[in-house]
Chains A and B, each alone.
Chain A
Amino acid sequence: MGRFIVRRLALMVIALWVVVTVTFFLAHMIPGGPFDREKPVPEAIKKNLEEKYHLNEPMWKQYLLYLNDIIHGDLGPSFKYPDRTVNDIIKESFPVSAQLGFWAVLMATFVGISLGSVSALHQGELIDSFSMFFAILFISLPSFVIAPIFQYIFGVKLHWLPVANWGSWKHMILPALSLALGPTAVIARLTRASMLEVLSNDYVKAARARGLSGLRVLIVYALKNALIPVVTYLFPLIAAIFTGSFVVEKIFNIPGLGRYYVTSIYNRDYTVILGVTVFYAAFLILMNLLADITYALLDPRIRYE
C-alpha cells in the first residue's frame, strides 16, 4: 500500500507538469491579451505593462520562468487585480468554496444514501417512486434554475433567509442546498441500484434467514458493499464541489474560487487561469487517490501491490 501511494504521488507530479504545459500554451493561444481594452492602451503604456509582466519575452522563456516560479510555490501576480497574487486569491477564496462544499457534500451523502437505501428496501412501493421521482427532477434541474427560485421563495417572499452574499450561517443554507440537490439525487439513485444488487446476494438472504432485523442487515451487511459505486462518485464530487461552482457562486455572490475558472479566461488573466487549473488538478488527483485507498478499506478483495 505504501509503495502504491508513493508511486501515485510521483505520477501526480508528472500529470501536473502536463497540465501546466498544456494550459500554459492553450491560455496564450486564445486571441486577445490581458491588456486589451475597448479604448486601446497607447503603445508606449502597453510596452511598459508587457515588460512589467514579462509578456514581451519569447513564449518558451515565459514558460520556463513560470515553471521556475511554480516549482517554488509562487503562482505569480494577477494581471486583472494588480495588487493581488494568485497565491492570495486561492488562499482567500478556496476556504469559502470548501466550507460551502463541505456542507453540500455532507448533505448529499447522508440524504442520498438514506433515500437510496430506503427506496431499495421498499422497491416499487410509493416511497420508492416518490423519492426516485424527485431524484430525476433534481438531476434534470440545473442549479441556475433552482437557485433563483430558492432566492425568490425563501428570500423575497418569506424573508427567512438572505438572497445573497456571504457572512453568517444563514447565508450558507441556500447555496449549499442548491449545490447539494443534484449530487443527492445521483447518490440516491446509485445507492438504490447497487443496494438492490447486494440485497439479492446469498449472504444477505442468509442473514435474513437467521432472523436479523431488516435495518441491521442493511447497515451491517449490505451497505458496505453497496457503497463502492458511491465512493467512485463521491471523491471526484468532493474535488468538484470543494473547489467551487461558477454558477452557484455567481448567483449567490459568494467570494469563492469557482468564479475564477471562468472569469480568468475572459480576462486573459494567464497566471490565474494556470493557478486555479493546477490547483484543481492537484486536488482532483488527490481525491482519486483517496478513493482508491477507500476501496481497499471497504473491499478486502482489492489490494494494491
Chain B
Amino acid sequence: MKKFRVFLTLLLVFGLIFGMFVGCGEQKQEQGQGQEQGQGQEQTEMVLRYNLGTEPETLDPAKATGVPEMTVMLHTFDGLTRLDKDGKPQPAVAESWEVKNDGKLYIFHLRKDVKWSDGQPVTAHDFEFAWKRALSPEIASEYAYQLYYIKNGEKYNTGEITDPNEVGVKAIDDYTLQVELEQPAPYFLSLVAFPTLYPLPEHVLKANPDWPKGIDKDPNLYVTNGPFVLAEWSHHDKLVLKKNPNYFDKDKVKLDKLVFYMVEDANTAVQMFENEEVDMIDNIPTAQIDQWKGKPEFHIDPILGTYYILVNVGSDKTMGGEKNPLQDVRVRKAIAMAINRSVITDKILKAGQQPAYAFVPPGIPDAEPGKDFRQVGGNYFSEDLQKAKELLAEAGYPDGKGFPKLIYLYNTSEGHKKIGEAIQSMLKENLGIEMELQNQEWKVYLQSRNEGQFDLARAGWLGDYVDPMTFLDMFVSTSGNNDTGWANPQYDDLIEKAKYETDNAKRVQYMHEAEDILMQDMPIIPLYFYTNPRLVKTYVKNYAAISLGWVDFKEAYIQK
C-alpha cells in the first residue's frame, strides 16, 4: 500500500506539471512541422536570411528610432524618395518634384499607381496624415524633430500651436503634396526617405487608432506600401516579410521572402552563419575578425560614424576643487597628439577603421560634385610626440608633473575597455599623465556625461542623414549632445548660417569653417572613423549597404 502511495505522489506531481504545459508542447510541435514543410518549399522560393541583431521596438514609423526598426521598415514602406546604394535620394512614391521659393517650398508629384497592401491607392493625404500624426504631442514620437524642418512643425509638436492645419504640409489634390519649410534644407530630399516621414494608410489608422498594436498576431493589419509585407512576427525570434504583390515596382523585387533573425549574441550569430542558418550578419566579434579576413564572405561596408573622446572643458567636479587643466587648449591638443591611433585601429579593432584627425567622417559629398567633404577639409592635426610634450610643458606640466589624475569614462563593453586601456598606457608613457578608467552601465554613463561627472569620456556618433550637419550641429552650445561644457559663439553662428543658407557652396563652406573651429578648440578628440564589417554568403547578390547602417534588399537576389 505504501509503495503505491509514493508512486501516486510522484505521478501526481509530475502529472500536474506536465499537464500545465502539455498544451503548449503540442502547439509547438505543430509549429515545428509547419516549419519543416516551409523548409521544403524554400528550395523553390528565394529566401534571404539576415540577422537584425535585436528585436525591433516597434514598427510604427513615427515611433521607431533605431537601425533594426529602420531596416525592417525600409522593406515594408516606400517614402517620397528612396536612397540608392550611394545614399542619394531617387524617386519612389514621388515621381518628380519642384523646389521653389529659395528651397523653402517643395511640391511633390506622386505616382498614380502606388497601392497599399490592401489595394487602396496611396495618396498625398496619406503623407499629410502621417506627418501630422508624427508631430502630434499625443503620439510622443522621439524622432519628431526630423519634421522640425517643416513650417510650424516644432511649434505644433511642442504645443505652442494646437491647430494641425498650420503645419506646412498639405495635399493639394490626391497626387500633389506641398511642403513648406522653416528654412531651406538641401538634404530634405534624403530626409523624406527617412521612416518618420513615410506615408501611413489613413483609412486603416482612422479605423484602428491603436495601430500598429496587434500586427504580431495578425500581420495583415500591417498595411504598407513597400516591396515587402509582413508575414510573421514572433518576438525576439524572427520576423518574416514576403513579396508584396501590390507593389508598383515589383518587377525589380526578386526575393520571395526576407527572414530577419534577432540574434543578440555575436558569437552565436557567427556560428549560425557557419552552420548555414543565416546568410548575412553584422557585428563580428573582434576576436574572430582575423580568421575571416581575406575570405570572400568578409565585407567591410562603410558607415558614417566617428569614435571620439569628449573632453570636459568646463567643470572641475571630478578634480575636487582643483583647477581643471583640460580647460587649457594646449593640454587637449597634447593629449590628441600623444595617442597612437593606428594601434587602436590595427591591433584592437582590426576591421579597416581609419584613424581620425578630424570630426566629420568620409563618405559625405562636398559642394563640388565628386568631392568628399573630408577630403576637401583634410586632416587637422597629426600625431607628434615632441610637439605634444612641448605643449604640455607650455601649459605648465612638463613631463606631466603636477597634472591631476584624469577620469576616463566609458560605457561597459569589452571593446571600449580595450581602447581605454590603450589610451591610458599611451598617456602615461608619452606624457606622464595618469588616467583612471571608470566604466558605467549605459544609462548611468549617459547621466554622468550629461552632468559632467568625467574628465574624458568615450563617445561615438552615427549619422542620421548624409550631411556634415548631422555631426556638426551636436556641438552648438545649446545642443543636448554637447556634454563638454564648450561653447563658442562663432561656432554657433556658423552652424546657424549654414542652416539658413540657400547656396550649397556657401553652406558647405560654413560647415568647413565650423569644423575648423571645433578642431582648433578641440573639446572633442577624434579617434577613428567607424566601418561596418559584415559576413555575407557569396550567393547573396545586389544588396545595397547604405552608409547610415541599413541594408536595402529590395533588389537583392540569391544565386547559388
Closest approach, in angstroms, between the C-beta of A95 and any C-beta of chain B?
Answer: 4
On chain B, the number of residues with a Cβ less than 8 Å from chain A's Cβ atoms is 71
**1/0 contact trace for A48-64 toward B, CB 8 Å?**
11011000000000000
Residues of the B chain whose Cβ atoms lie less than 8 Å from the Cβ of A95? 21, 24
Given the known A-B contacts A163-B275, A164-B277, are A82 and B447 also in contact in the complex, defined by CB atoms under 8 Å? no
Let me know if A48 and B137 touch, CB within 8 A. yes
Given A32-B447, A52-B140, output 6 extra A-B contacts at Cβ < 8 Å. Answer: A31-B447, A83-B214, A98-B20, A98-B21, A99-B21, A253-B265
Let me know if B6 and A82 touch, CB within 8 A. no
Given the known A-B contacts A95-B21, A102-B18, A259-B236, are A251 and B142 also in contact in the complex, defined by CB atoms under 8 Å? no
Given the known A-B contacts A82-B63, A253-B264, A266-B443, are A99 and B25 also in contact in the complex, defined by CB atoms under 8 Å? yes
- A304 interfacial contact with B, CB 8 Å: no
Name the contact of B261 in the complex, choosing from A38, A84, A156, A253 (C-beta under 8 A). Answer: A253
Let me know if B145 and A45 touch, CB within 8 A. yes
Given the known A-B contacts A45-B140, A81-B58, are A32 and B446 also in contact in the complex, defined by CB atoms under 8 Å? yes
Closest approach, in angstroms, between the C-beta of B235 and any C-beta of chain A?
Answer: 6
CA distance A165 to B25 in the complex (A): 17
What are the 4 tightest A-B residue pairs by CB atom distance, in nearest-first order?
A32-B443, A168-B32, A40-B480, A44-B158
Name the contact of A252 in the complex, choosing from B33, B144, B235, B268 (C-beta under 8 A). Answer: B268
- B207 interfacial contact with A, CB 8 Å: no
Let me know if B57 and A82 touch, CB within 8 A. yes
Closest approach, in angstroms, between the C-beta of A228 and any C-beta of chain B?
Answer: 12
A binding-site residues for B, Cβ under 8 Å: 30-33, 35-42, 44-45, 48-49, 51-52, 80-84, 89, 92-93, 95, 98-99, 102, 105-106, 148, 151-152, 155-156, 159, 162-170, 220, 223-224, 238, 250-255, 259, 266, 268, 290, 294, 297-298
**1/0 contact trace for B174-215 toward A, CB 8 Å?**
000000000000000000000000000000000000001111
Let me know if B444 and A31 touch, CB within 8 A. yes
B binding-site residues for A, Cβ under 8 Å: 3, 5-6, 9, 13-14, 17-18, 20-21, 24-25, 28-29, 31-33, 35-36, 55, 57-60, 63, 65, 137-138, 140-142, 144-145, 154, 157-159, 212-216, 234-238, 261-265, 267-268, 271-272, 274-275, 277, 441-444, 446-447, 450, 459, 461, 474, 480-481
Name the contact of A40 in the complex, choosing from B65, B263, B481 (C-beta under 8 A). Answer: B481
Let me know if A151 and B443 touch, CB within 8 A. no
Chain B residue with Cβ nearest A220: B3
CA distance A145 to B18 in the complex (A): 30
Chain B residue with Cβ nearest A249: B236
Closest approach, in angstroms, between the C-beta of A75 and any C-beta of chain B?
Answer: 16
Let me know if A168 and B36 touch, CB within 8 A. yes
CA distance A162 to B55 in the complex (A): 20
Residues of the A chain whose Cβ atoms lie less than 8 Å from the Cβ of B212? 83
Name the contact of B271 in the complex, choosing from A32, A80, A152, A220 (C-beta under 8 A). Answer: A152
Chain A residue with Cβ nearest B263: A253
Name the contact of B31 in the complex, choosing from A39, A48, A167 (C-beta under 8 A). Answer: A167
Name the contact of A44 in the complex, choosing from B3, B55, B157 (C-beta under 8 A). Answer: B157
Residues of the A chain whose Cβ atoms lie less than 8 Å from the Cβ of B142? 35, 37, 41, 45, 49
Name the contact of A48 in the complex, choosing from B29, B140, B236 (C-beta under 8 A). Answer: B140
Given the known A-B contacts A31-B443, A37-B142, A156-B271, are A298 and B9 also in contact in the complex, defined by CB atoms under 8 Å? yes
CA distance A268 to B267 in the complex (A): 26
Interchain Cβ contacts under 8 Å between A and B, 22 examples? A32-B442, A36-B447, A38-B461, A40-B480, A41-B142, A42-B144, A44-B154, A81-B55, A84-B213, A93-B236, A99-B21, A151-B271, A162-B272, A162-B277, A163-B275, A165-B238, A165-B261, A165-B263, A167-B32, A167-B237, A255-B234, A266-B443
Let me know if A80 and B29 touch, CB within 8 A. no
Let me know if B57 and A81 touch, CB within 8 A. yes
Closest approach, in angstroms, between the C-beta of A103 and any C-beta of chain B?
Answer: 9
Let me know if A164 and B447 touch, CB within 8 A. no
Closest approach, in angstroms, between the C-beta of A157 and any C-beta of chain B?
Answer: 9
Residues of the B chain whose Cβ atoms lie less than 8 Å from the Cβ of A48? 137-138, 140, 157
CA distance A40 to B481 in the complex (A): 7
Closest approach, in angstroms, between the C-beta of A146 and any C-beta of chain B?
Answer: 14
Residues of the B chain whose Cβ atoms lie less than 8 Å from the Cβ of A168? 31-33, 35-36
Let me know if A155 and B237 touch, CB within 8 A. no
Given the known A-B contacts A39-B481, A167-B32, are A294 and B13 also in contact in the complex, defined by CB atoms under 8 Å? yes
Residues of the A chain whose Cβ atoms lie less than 8 Å from the Cβ of B20? 98
Residues of the A chain whose Cβ atoms lie less than 8 Å from the Cβ of B14? 106
Closest approach, in angstroms, between the C-beta of B25 and any C-beta of chain A?
Answer: 6
CA distance A268 to B157 in the complex (A): 25
Closest approach, in angstroms, between the C-beta of B317 and any C-beta of chain A?
Answer: 16
CA distance A17 to B553 in the complex (A): 50
Chain A residue with Cβ nearest B59: A83
Residues of the B chain whose Cβ atoms lie less than 8 Å from the Cβ of A40? 450, 480-481
Residues of the B chain whose Cβ atoms lie less than 8 Å from the Cβ of A98? 20-21, 24
Let me know if B58 and A45 touch, CB within 8 A. no
Let me know if A99 and B28 touch, CB within 8 A. yes
CA distance A151 to B481 in the complex (A): 41
Closest approach, in angstroms, between the C-beta of B275 and any C-beta of chain A?
Answer: 5
Let me know if B32 and A80 touch, CB within 8 A. no
Let me know if B145 and A253 touch, CB within 8 A. no
Residues of the A chain whose Cβ atoms lie less than 8 Å from the Cβ of B271? 148, 151-152, 155-156, 163-164
Name the contact of A164 in the complex, choosing from B18, B31, B268, B443 (C-beta under 8 A). Answer: B268
CA distance A17 to B295 in the complex (A): 58
Closest approach, in angstroms, between the C-beta of B449 and any C-beta of chain A?
Answer: 9
CA distance A105 to B21 in the complex (A): 13
CA distance A148 to B287 in the complex (A): 15
CA distance A224 to B159 in the complex (A): 71
Residues of the B chain whose Cβ atoms lie less than 8 Å from the Cβ of A250? 264-265
Residues of the A chain whose Cβ atoms lie less than 8 Å from the Cβ of B481? 38-40
Residue of B216, B261, B480 ringed by the most chain A CB atoms within 10 A: B480
Name the contact of A92 in the complex, choosing from B145, B235, B277 (C-beta under 8 A). Answer: B235
CA distance A27 to B450 in the complex (A): 21
Given the known A-B contacts A44-B159, A48-B137, are A163 and B268 also in contact in the complex, defined by CB atoms under 8 Å? yes
Residues of the B chain whose Cβ atoms lie less than 8 Å from the Cβ of A39? 474, 480-481
